[in-house]
Structure 1
Amino acid sequence: MSTENEGNAVPPAPSAPPVPVGSPETAPQGPAAAGNPPTAPLPPVPQESPAAPEQGVAYQPVPAPDGTWPPPPATPAYGDGAGPGGPGAGWGASYQQPAPKPRNGRGGLVAAVLVAALVAGGLGGGLGYTLAKDSDGGGSTTVSASDSATQVKRAPGTIAHVAAKALPSTVTIEAESTNGEGGTGTGFVFDTQGHIVTNNHVVADAVDGGKLTATFPDGRKYDAEVVGHAQGYDVAVVKLKNAPSDLKPLALGDSDKVAVGDETIAIGAPFGLSNTVTTGIISAKNRPVASSDGSSTSKASYMSALQTDASINPGNSGGPLLDASGAVIGINSAIQSSSSGGFGAGQSGSIGLGFAIPINQAKYVAQQLIKTGKPVYARIGASVSLEESTDGAKITDQGTGGAAAVESGGPADKAGLKPGDVITKLDDHVIDSGPTLIGEIWTHKPGDKVAVTYKRGGQEHSVSMTLGSREGDS
């Protein structure tokens, strides 16, 4: 497999195909599925075929004269002019594309499925997860949750109390490119100057002259512009135009102090359902995740993620992952799909495997973007193999385009590393592959000193290394 110089460029996503981890089972539907049919006689019902329910109107099944219950009407998939759930829905991501504009004159599911390898930290196994951009070819299915939660007081420490305080500081972001393509994601208020933090992949369509809007739970909608975006970190900052004076930034927590088992609260717009609140726990820390947007020219995104079982679906991307006190500990970014299938085949929504960028890393990136408009990446100045491995991150024999694998005068060179060395630890974190190493490096800032453990000729060595820096433009 080809390699990239980690220190000089943001490497592409690994090309290994994801491993399917099962297909969702079809759950029984309708009242009969509950095993509790009505026991009292029921009045006869006219036999005309019932009209299809209007969108947004709950389906109310009625029994036939013989007491049997009809099946519920089929729910069209996204792209058929209705909500999620049909066979064509492209589930398995955290970014939701809205309905195409009427001028397109055509419906149909349009999904760009992004596949990346997830290396299970400590296990060395390769898991597949899918990032998908779904398209609803019919009318809008966005349903805004009631903002009445902000009007009702709940006891401190309850989920309702945390949600009531956090919801007014979250926004639903709609991004549209110059050719009309785009999607919906989430963001949250970062400061009182109108800066909103979200994912790069949420706003990518609007970077070059596109349209960007942010809508608050109370219905206020503002035009916005991209201040800066970091594709490698998958973090972006946008700024509201004519920002209101009453913005309340969300408090930022300390993701380094998060423990497995801590409660989590996620806020976002899954499948366009704005202001949705879900809960769970921290399932794991330092979970290496690598992804790309699937294009041939894209650069990879790497993160040492917080894993949560809070329900995260397309449209949750960029939204805050909160702790029990309401402080932001991460930015929801990706989920694992139950299948690596293509356009809707065997795909699902949340299966309890969501991944968030730790807020300590995202905060640093956001501050750099606000300050200079450009991200700054920590680097070691060495090319590492991106092939799946359980042994560590191997420094390649040659870098990109024939360049040296170890940059002369770079951090790795100064630390005495050479081609063929296999890095197995960064500080106290086990490194089982190149992507894992990059994700861990990017949790640090340029200038940080790290302890590197590596193997050479079967012998283990340790050395201290000062990380370098590289300014990126995406």
Structure 2
Amino acid sequence: MDLSPARTRARRLPLPLTAVVCAAALVGGCSAGGDPAGPALSTQAAAPLAANDLQDDYQAVIKEVLPSVVQIDAASSLGSGVVYDDKGHVVTNAHVVGEEKTFKVTAATGGQPVEARLVSSYPEQDLAVIRLTTVPQGLRAARFGDSAAVDMGQIVLAMGSPLGLSGSVTQGIVSATGRTVSEGRTGGGTGATIGNMVQTSAAINPGNSGGALLNLDSEVIGIPTLAATDPALGGGSAPGIGFAIPASMVRTVADQIIKDGKVTDSGRAALNITGRTVLDDDYNPAGVAVVEAPADGAAGKAGLKPGDVITRFGDTDITTITSLSEALASRRPGDVVTTVYVRGTESHKTDITLGEM
């Protein structure tokens, strides 16, 4: 797909609203004979104890991770970043760095800003790595968790610099996993379609992008990237719907950028085409027209040519370039997918062995 980098301060997209509720129960003890051995701990008395324990957990995480979070100032944007290693590499979002090459970086714990330079940006996954020219004392690398262990209902904290308020923390839960979300290009988006994202109720505001989504073991489980808007409110904020790139993808991209200066193995499936959305006679989206299909690419090898219109990909009806990108996001290079396309007035079906982005 044809995806290009862009600049922005924050990303927002329209999505339906959801809500998750979680509850806990208290159990009291009884004597062997079934009679109370003494007054059981009342709900009123136990609740403050439980709240204090959770508060202690929050404060422990903040104390542990705050030295691993930074604020990133570019010429016309502001965001957050997470210290990746002890050599001064910091991972953030591609839309935070935009087209800039140098940045001012400030530790969430305070101190003077230091200069950083871009190592590489990977807009297709909305990730980038920058490197500090000097590593301030007290700054330390974050620990990244296991994406496979992230589950709905898990308590999380989001740490970053919303609206320039460095070192801010919000709390919530994991609302869902495995979300596929597409960024628009308007307003500075990269146009990326990102799979397997973590949805959270923790507040994600402009400036949080590139920061840390944390579990209560002080591990980074995701990089906050997107916040939802509510179409019913005219594009206004939809509280409690944010998205983070999973830690596994962050490590995959960052490790390659640090080692090779670029992403050499994306692990993302591709048709290897340039396409555009086409409309039917009623001006409704009706498929993706192939603009370019190199002969050595996945679609080209399967016989697709410029002018063909893709209308179905596997079990998914394709109406727009976004729907095709989202269908690809759940696939892997080498997968064989039955694809329906229209050439002229006739419909055709072919099996495509997917390539790599």
Shared fold per TM-score greater than 0.5? yes
Instruction: Name the counterpart of 2:3.
Output: 10
Instruction: Name the counterpart of 2:252.
Output: 364
Deviations 1:187-232 (A, max 9, x none): 111111110011122222632xx54223231435322111111233
Q: Does structure 1 residue 294 correspond to structure 2 residue 193?
A: no
Deviations 1:157-178 (A, max 9, x none): 92332222111111112222xx
Find the partner of 1:438 among 306, 311, 325. 325
Deviations 1:416-466 (A, max 9, x none): 66733434348xx99775324435646777xx3224243458999784624
Q: Distance in 2 between matches of 1:251 and 1:392?
A: 44
Instruction: Name the counterpart of 1:422.
Output: 311
Q: Distance in 2 between matches of 1:259 and 1:319?
A: 20
Give the match's secondary structure for 2:157: strand
Q: Does structure 1 residue 166 correspond to structure 2 residue 65?
A: yes
Q: CA deviation at 1:12?
A: 9.2
Instruction: Name the counterpart of 1:337.
Output: 229
Instruction: Name the counterpart of 2:152.
Output: 260
- What fraction of aligned residue pairs are identical, expressed as a percent? 30
| C-alpha contact (below 8 Å) 2:15/2:230 kept by paired residues | no
Instruction: Name the counterpart of 2:83.
Output: 189
Instruction: Name the counterpart of 1:454.
Output: 339
| C-alpha contact (below 8 Å) 2:105/2:113 kept by paired residues | yes
Find the partner of 1:202 among 96, 102, 112. 96
Q: 1:421 to 1:349 in 2, by over 3 A?
A: closer
Give the match's secondary structure for 1:164: helix
Q: Distance in 1 between matches of 2:200 and 2:190?
A: 25
AA of the residue aligned to 1:361: M
Give the match's secondary structure for 1:206: coil
Instruction: Name the counterpart of 1:214.
Output: 106
Q: 1:116 to 1:349 in 2, by over 3 A?
A: closer
Q: Distance in 2 between matches of 1:461 and 1:262?
A: 43
Q: Distance in 2 between matches of 1:393 and 1:168?
A: 50
| C-alpha contact (below 8 Å) 1:384/1:394 kept by paired residues | no
Q: Distance in 2 between matches of 1:217 and 1:364?
A: 28
Q: Distance in 1 between matches of 2:221 and 2:318?
A: 24
Q: Which has the higher helix share?
A: 2
Q: 1:199 to 1:454 in 2, by over 3 A?
A: same
| C-alpha contact (below 8 Å) 1:173/1:214 kept by paired residues | yes
| C-alpha contact (below 8 Å) 2:5/2:99 kept by paired residues | no
Q: Which has the higher strand share?
A: 2
| C-alpha contact (below 8 Å) 2:277/2:285 kept by paired residues | no
AA of the residue aligned to 2:294: E
Q: Distance in 1 between matches of 2:81 and 2:350?
A: 41
Q: Distance in 2 between matches of 1:407 and 1:271?
A: 44
Find the partner of 2:295 among 400, 408, 432. 408
5+ residue gaps, structure 2? 18-51
AA of the residue aligned to 1:370: I
Q: CA deviation at 1:348?
A: 5.0
| C-alpha contact (below 8 Å) 1:393/1:424 kept by paired residues | no
Deviations 1:67-117 (A, max 9, x none): xxxxxxxxxxxxxxxxxxxxxxxxxxx937xxxxxxxxxxxxxxxxx7766
Q: Does structure 1 residue 273 correspond to structure 2 residue 165?
A: yes
Q: Distance in 1 between matches of 2:239 and 2:278?
A: 27
| C-alpha contact (below 8 Å) 1:308/1:353 kept by paired residues | yes
Deviations 1:9-34 (A, max 9, x none): 31699xxxxxxxxxxxxxxxxxxxxx
AA of the residue aligned to 1:10: L
Q: Does structure 1 residue 303 correspond to structure 2 residue 194?
A: yes
Q: CA deviation at 1:336?
A: 1.7
Q: 1:289 to 1:387 in 2, by over 3 A?
A: farther
Please tell me the root mean square deviation across aligned C-alpha atoms, in Å: 4.1
Deviations 1:290-322 (A, max 9, x none): 222536xx8523222322111111111110112
1:119-158 equivalent positions in 2, closer than 5 A = 158=57
Instruction: Name the counterpart of 1:382.
Output: 273
Q: 1:263 to 1:190 in 2, by over 3 A?
A: same
Give the match's secondary structure for 1:331: strand
Q: Distance in 2 between matches of 1:269 and 1:203?
A: 15
Q: Distance in 1 between matches of 2:218 and 2:350?
A: 40
Q: Distance in 2 between matches of 1:395 and 1:313?
A: 33
Instruction: Name the counterpart of 1:62.
Output: none
TM-score by length of 2: 0.70
AA of the residue aligned to 1:163: I
Q: CA deviation at 1:273?
A: 1.6
Give the match's secondary structure for 1:243: coil
| C-alpha contact (below 8 Å) 2:12/2:229 kept by paired residues | no
1:57-136 equivalent positions in 2, closer than 5 A = 95=9
